[in-house]
Structure 1
Amino acid sequence: MASGPTVNIRRDVDDKFYRYRMPLLTTKIEGKGNGIKTVVPNMADVARALTRPPAYPTKFFGCELGAQTSFDEKNDRYIVNGAHDANRLRELLDGFIEKFVLCKSCKNPETDLVILKSGRHEEIIRDCKACGERTGVDMRHKLTTFILKNPPVKSKKDKKRNNAGTAAASVGGSNSPTHDTEDAEGADQIHDAAESDDELTRKIKAEAAELNPETAIVKEDWAADTSPEAVKQRMKALESSMAAVGMGDDDGSDEDVNSPYTQLGKWVEENRDDVESPKVFSVELYKKVQEFGIEKKHKTLLVLMQALFTEEATTEIKSYLVLFKKMVTSERHQKALLGGLERLVGLMQPSLIPAVPKLLMEFYQADILEEEVITQWGTHVSRKYVDKDTSKKVRKASEPFLKWLAEAEDDEDDE
């Protein structure tokens, strides 16, 4: 970010410790008479702080002032025709931030613009990374036409999702779009997200099987044994694994049945089936975790993965992604979550083995699990959370997703 004075992105927030800041917008008047124009020298830096293309706020100024605008992205030169006072443009920038940056729900600027298309109808929404909410913008504003014609450039992860032919599911159940890079200037064009999550899972399994037939997963080999004895054994395994996550060493060697982790696991199991709203239960669950004083502990993720989900985990997981996103704050947390996944599908719900790629995809798309962590986990068998054979089987099941990650990376390198 360029040197110079900075201000809060929300200038109505009078807090010198406010974490979201941007350079103070500056202007320079050039030309005379009919050729007079206002140049914004640091527009690129301001836009970078807002995570928006600099052409968007520049065009917004033009819409509000009824003036022509021009952009030279190569030379970072952004112009509004006419002579305009810096304070006036700063006020307009506040309007742009309110309408196209801030989350309507939590007023946090940590959002991405996403274009949804349904038939001929297109809608622009703000996808908040802070609270998980998706809120629409006023489609009556003239700037929306410009945004639809010049959609935001995708990030590296967005490109991978597009290569898989899928769209990330929002907390409310909406589907975000996929994009093609077809126009002459490299701007992404929007098309329908036609494939469902189930179709995605089938697709990546099929593609991986074509590359290496040995990676194909046969669900029949993992059919859940529902006999009373098998159920009893799985419940015993869960109780043992819960106890193994005591307050002792990181390897879980201390088996304390009275530890907060064991108590949390039992509380979740006793209450999860009476849930009327997963969102409400997420709040109650987080309060319970705070009550035990383990909301920042990585072992908490290990317990939640085992206790929260049932054989319907592939559908249940979407409702709890916001909770996991709030609690997973480090690589250590991610590894504990993956350990919980091993125990969930390897010990408690063997019928979920074929769904491992889909479960990983959900966490990956929600920015809860990082590519490097998944890859390292998937290529190193470990006995930390389950026995060696179970660890191998779970990682074997994850191979289609790992192959997809590797191929997407290769595609980006080629580009």
Structure 2
Amino acid sequence: MATVNIRRDVKDSFYRYKMPVLLTKIEGRGNGIKTVLPNMADVARALNRPASYPTKYFGSELGAQSTCNDDTERYIVNGAHDQNRMRELLDGFIDKFVLCQSCKNPETELIVSKDEYITADCKACGHVGDIDMRHKLSGYIVKNPPKKASKKGKKGAAGADSIAGQPGQVDDEDDDQDELTRKIREGAAEVMSEEQAAKLIAQREADEDWGEDTSPEAVAARMAALGVSGDSSLLAGDDDDEEAGGPYAEFATWVKENKDEVSAAEIYKEADSRGVAKKTHRLLPYLFPALFTDKVADELPKYLALLAKLTNSDKAVKALGGGIEKLLGDDYPDAVAQTPKVLMVLYQNDIMDEDAIKHFATHVSKKYVAKDVSKRVRKAAEPMVKWLEEAESDEEESDDE
């Protein structure tokens, strides 16, 4: 397979950082036409990044739907796109999400912090730089952080012809250091503070049954099961867990009164300062109706970055569905026809994926609104589900051809 310099602006034929030339293939016809990236997995391995990252980057830059299947290594961007254009976009991805900001070498590792910020740690020069969190792909990376590759996988990342020092490769002389680093990290992972244990138990799934016994002794036993020792009084439960709204409803009221005067970033800072941003699955059912009106489909773009940051778990995405029910079911029932358009915007911006939308449309719940209201809103989502199924059917038909 032909290779090129990872930095295509470097013309040196002896430049050691290489990657396969990105290939494209146009498939389908009409509305089902798409651009398949047959060797995206190989390109991504050379860049030491998951293949879904550049694929999603292409989709966001082109305003097109993108699909990724890591099992079959099939990566697709909807629409017909010129090969040169795709390679230019790949250069943009490399510049923003692969190269070190200091030495411009592609030996960086992406790290997602607990407060959901992304940094690029350069193994060549040691520089740690921030990744632009305003880009749509950053939200996707936060939700899908890179998995640490095994040593075997790293050595094979750039192919048999790779040169020592290439991204994703481990030199033999560094094995001892890597082994020591691994042991240190494994040891750190096993040490969980009492405060972290308290948060872990407090953030249990809403529908998970932890049993009837909530005595300090029983809580301490659950702590021991997690491999944590300490004072069980730290795990005294969340005072506002069972309140009807508590600080989340209060914050939503503040948002409703002040949203015209403050930015989305300021709303998040206020949520963080009040402590309600830590439990987004409790916040979103109140925040979503506070942010929007019956013109929600037109108002969504202003708050997409905020919603992307808050939907940091599957539970938070489900809670976002509850907020949609409250807004279009209770607050503005005459606007329920906007449900498919709202879901489409959230889908195109990687806030709700295909599975989340299908679950929303097919699982009536009385958790956030009355059951008949939930049924009406979710039934209104059927056109979106139909569109997803047709798109999937077109893809399968094209594959068969």
Query: TM-score, normalising length from structure 2?
Result: 0.44
Larger CA Rg, structure 1 vs 2: 1
Query: TM-score, normalising length from structure 1?
Result: 0.43
